[in-house]
């Protein structure tokens, strides 16, 4: 019986075969952030587009210190045949491992099988995991809907920024835009020190400031 993961939980470790050989998850991540994302099956059209686009984001993930790991419930031989199709149809080169989760070990650990949707295929789950191996984001899409990887990059930008500065990011925020000072910060001297560019007080609880690390 799987247990649903929640934000802030430790990301379960595992060892599983993949398209590039055996992977020990925590060891694979090292001190990087991680994106673990599941696919209903090999040779499926939506997944083919997703994995191709993820491969094209290699430099974007690298500059954010993020390692990507896909998971599908087929075996490694099937994955490697599928990768040839992905490379050909999406005009790219898959540059990250796809876990061969044919025993459903990882799918069960991360609660990726939703029986009322499908008894065998994984739903489209995304987990963002920080260097402390904590789960920081979970998004689950239906199998028929391709994911927005620009949104995944946006969330990583927000998490990395808000971890290192006393800010939160507002609706539809993109990297480089103004951010919100956390309401718990009230000391004028601390505010002056942390936000030398100044800030605008819309309400006492809503204060905007230019992005501090830009």
Report the Cα–Cα distance between both ends of the chain, in Å, rounded: 46
Q: Which helix (H) or strand (E) holds 207?
A: strand 206-209
Structure tokens at 142: 């239906």
- pLDDT for 126 equals 93
Note whether 16 and 101 are within 8 A (CB).
yes
All residues at 6 or more sequence positions from 13 whose CB lies less than 8 Å from its CB, including other chains: 24, 25, 26, 133
- pLDDT for 94 equals 95
Per DSSP bridges, beta strands 23-24 and 15-16 are antiparallel
DSSP per-residue codes, 158-189: HHHHHHHSSEE--TT--TTS-EEE-TT---HH
- pLDDT for 117 equals 53
> pTM for the whole thing?
0.91
How far apart are alpha carbons 116 and 152 in whole angstroms? 26
Set 35, 36, 47, 98: catalytic member? 47
Asked about 47 being catalytic, the answer comes back as: yes
- In 3D space, the residue among 5, 213, 214, 210 whose CA is nearest the CA of residue 107 turns out to be 5
Sheet holding 200-203, edge to edge: 167-168, 179-181, 206-209, 200-203
How far apart are alpha carbons 180 and 208 in whole angstroms? 5
DSSP symbol at 123: P
Which domains, from first to last, does the chain contain? Answer: 15-146 (3.40.30.10), 165-209 (no CATH)
Q: Where are the alpha helices (DSSP H) in 57-125?
A: 58-63, 76-90, 105-109
What are the 10-residue block averages of pLDDT along the chain, 214 residues in total?
78 95 96 93 91 96 97 91 96 95 89 62 83 96 88 97 96 96 93 94 96 91
- pLDDT for 2 equals 46
């Amino acid at each position: 019986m799987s247990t649903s993961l929640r934000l802030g939980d430790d990301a379960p470790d595992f060892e599983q075969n993949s398209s590039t050989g055996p992977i020990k998850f925590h060891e694979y991540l090292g001190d990087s952030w991680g994106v673990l994302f599941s696919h209903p099956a090999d040779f499926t059209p939506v997944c083919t587009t997703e994995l191709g686009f993820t491969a094209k984001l290699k430099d974007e993930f690298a500059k954010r210190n993020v390692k990507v790991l896909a998971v599908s419930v087929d075996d490694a031989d099937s994955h490697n045949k599928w990768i040839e199709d992905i490379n050909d149809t999406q005009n790219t080169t898959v540059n990250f491992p796809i876990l061969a989760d044919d025993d459903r070990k990882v799918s069960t650990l991360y609660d990726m099988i939703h029986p009322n949707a499908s008894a065998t295929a994984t739903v489209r789950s995304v987990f963002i995991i920080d260097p402390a191996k904590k789960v920081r984001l979970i998004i689950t899409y239906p199998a028929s809907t391709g994911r927005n990887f620009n949104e995944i990059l946006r969330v990583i930008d927000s998490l990395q920024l808000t971890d290192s500065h006393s800010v939160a990011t507002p609706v539809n925020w993109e990297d480089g835009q103004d951010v919100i000072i956390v309401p718990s910060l009230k000391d004028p001297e601390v505010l002056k020190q942390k936000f030398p560019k100044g800030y605008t007080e819309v309400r006492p609880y809503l204060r905007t400031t230019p992005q501090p690390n830009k």
